[in-house]
Amino acid sequence: MSNPTLIDKAAVRAKRRRSLGRVWPNAVALCLVPVFLFPVYWMFSTSFKPASEVLTKSPTFLFSPTLEHYGTAAGVDMFWTYVRNSLTVTLGAVGLALLVALAASFAIVRMRFRGRKGLVLAVMMAQMAPWEVMVIVMYLIARDAELLNSIGFLTLVYFVMVLPFTIWTLRGFIAAVPKELEDAALIDGCSRTQAFFRVVFPLLAPGLMSTSLFGFITAWNEFAMVLVLNKESEAYTLPLWLTQFQTAFGNDWGATMAASSLFAIPVLLLFLFLQRRAVGGLSAGAVKG
């Protein structure tokens, strides 16, 4: 055994050196935090400012908060229609994608069939599909089929948008469930369907959770497609409403920022929650694989 005090001293010295070396990084980090937070902070702070203090030459930083702008934004004609549209489109797309992807990724991971490799490749490429560049052709297709301003059609488009990512991610999660568990269930007399729903499915819950949340965020934020497909205000979703709102309300930046906050809050909250969850879920999948 070596002399403990000597080692301690060395450790203390090393620690001191490290903490000294940390002054600069900490200072830089302290400058970066406001840089990244400022737009988010400014959105919220403007949304709570009294109207008289929003449109000023020199911005005020201290004020007595008010909810009046939220009243203006949420009081807009058909605001709740837009909320409902957004929720329908997003939840519909994610729900469908989960069902379809669960079946497909189970087949991809646990079965051998001709064209399996091709399918994996197709899914991977579809994940990078340039939807923004396809808006014109989607518009013409929807127009020919008289499906412009249709919430159902938009839901299906979003479903296909999130589907490849959902398959791709679930594939990893399913592969992480040990096959032996499933085999054991089969030997114990479960049918293949039973084995899936009683053994594999419960283990997939965290994976399904984070996958669907990412799908939710994608569909909730989507702008290009709804911009060309749904021109009538009854069929707007929240992102489209937000861009139109700004045009309609001109200089009412308080209300615009309140509208912006209302739209962003669900995503910000989900993301905070997801950050931990997703990293945990993904690394668990990766380690076990």
Partner 1 sequence: MTVSTRGTPPATEELPAGAPKSEGNDSGQRARLRAPAGALPYVLIAPAVLALLVFLGYPLARNIVLSLQQLGRTEMISRETVWTGLSNYTGLLNDDAFWTVVLRTFVFMAANVALIMVLGTLVGLLLNTLGKKMRLLLSLALVMAWAMPIVASATVFRWLFDTQFGVVNWVMRELGFAGYEQHNWFDSGFSTLAIVTLLIVWASVPFVALNLYAGLTTISPELYEAARMDGASNWRLFRSVVFPMMKQFFLITTFLEIIWVFKAFAQIVALNGGGPDRASETLPVFAYVEGMAQMNFGTAAAASVLTILILLAAMSYYFRLILKQEEEQ
Nearer to partner 1 among residue 88 and residue 126 (C-beta): 126
Long-range contacts of 175-184 (CB under 8 A, 24+ apart): 175/109, 175/285, 175/289, 176/207, 176/284, 176/285, 176/288, 176/289, 177/203, 177/204, 178/288, 179/110, 182/110
By beta-carbon proximity to partner 1, the closer residue of 80 and 273 is 273
**What is the closest distance, in whole angstroms, from the C-beta atom of residue 62 to partner 1 in the complex?**
15
- CB atoms < 10 A from the CB of 53, how many? 16
Which C-beta is closer to partner 1: that of 91 or that of 160? 160
In the complex, the smallest distance separating the C-beta of residue 140 from partner 1, rounded to whole angstroms, is 6
Q: Quick one: 101 exposed, middle or buried, by C-beta within 10 A (0-12, 13-18, 19+)?
A: buried
Q: Which is nearer to partner 1, 151 or 257 (CB)?
A: 257
User: Minimum CB separation from partner 1 for residue 204, in Å?
Assistant: 13
Nearest to partner 1 of 92, 164 (CB atom): 164
Closest of 220, 75, 89, 227 to residue 148, by C-alpha: 227
User: Shortest approach of partner 1 to residue 13 CB, angstroms?
Assistant: 15
Query: Residue 119 CB: number of other CB atoms within 10 A?
Result: 15
Percent helix / strand / coil, the chain, rounded to 5: 80, 0, 20
CA–CA gap between residue 143 and residue 138 (Å, rounded): 8
Least gap, CB of 80 to partner 1 (angstroms): 19
Taking the CB of residue 109, how many other CB atoms lie within 10 A of it?
A: 18
| Nearer CB in complex with partner 1: 203/282 | 282
What residues have CB less than 8 Å from 273, skipping those under 6 apart? 213
In the complex, the smallest distance separating the C-beta of residue 192 from partner 1, rounded to whole angstroms, is 8
